[in-house]
């Protein structure tokens, strides 16, 4: 699987997983469903960028770890910025949005190894 195929496969699987999880979570929270869907969209966009960086650096072990660390910093930073913004405004419910954001980031993070591992097997020397 090439790097582009690996990223596209992750993007497709992540979109399906995110949509299903957001649909279920949206039904469970009732009136705060909009917050769940917005958090899902933010998490999905962040994960696509972070996974793309990891796929690009996959063949270089030292740079791969730097890419992984940069992705984690971006994820934590996004949660922090979102928390700061939501605490200053009443646009979305704070707890529902933050819990959803963290949940979707974690869910999509668990999906990454399935697509990274496949890409490594195709790079034979």
Q: Among 76-80, 102-106, 111-115, which is the least confidently predicted range?
A: 111-115
Q: Which residue has the higher pLDDT, 43 or 122?
A: 43
In terms of Cα–Cα distance, which of 43, 46, 40 is closest to 25? 40
Given the structure tokens 């591992």, which residue do they identify? Answer: 117
Q: Cα separation of 35 and 31, whole Å?
A: 9
Which single residue is written with the structure tokens 């922090």? 80
DSSP state of 58: T
Q: Is the pTM of this model over 0.75?
A: yes
Picking from 21-25, 60-64, 66-70, 74-78, which range would have the lowest pLDDT averaged per residue?
60-64
Residue 69 near residue 5 (C-beta atoms within 8 A)? no
Report the number of distinct structural domains present in the chain. Answer: 1
Tokens of 114: 């399935």
**By residue range, what is the domain housing residue 37?**
3-121
Rounded to whole angstroms, how far apart are CA atoms 78 and 62?
Answer: 25
* pLDDT interval class at 119 (50, 70, 90): very low
């Amino acid at each position: 699987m090439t790097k582009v195929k690996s990223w596209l496969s992750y993007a497709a699987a992540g979109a399906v997983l995110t949509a299903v999880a957001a649909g279920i979570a949206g039904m469970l929270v009732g009136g705060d469903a909009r917050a769940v869907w917005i958090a899902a969209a933010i998490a999905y966009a962040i994960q696509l960028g972070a996974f793309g960086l990891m796929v690009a650096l996959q063949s270089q072990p030292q740079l791969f770890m730097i890419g992984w660390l940069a992705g984690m910093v971006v994820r934590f930073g996004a949660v922090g910025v979102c928390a700061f913004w939501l605490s200053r405004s009443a646009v979305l419910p704070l707890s529902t949005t933050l819990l959803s954001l963290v949940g979707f980031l974690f869910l999509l993070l668990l999906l990454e190894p399935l697509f990274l591992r496949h890409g490594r097997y195709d790079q034979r020397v």
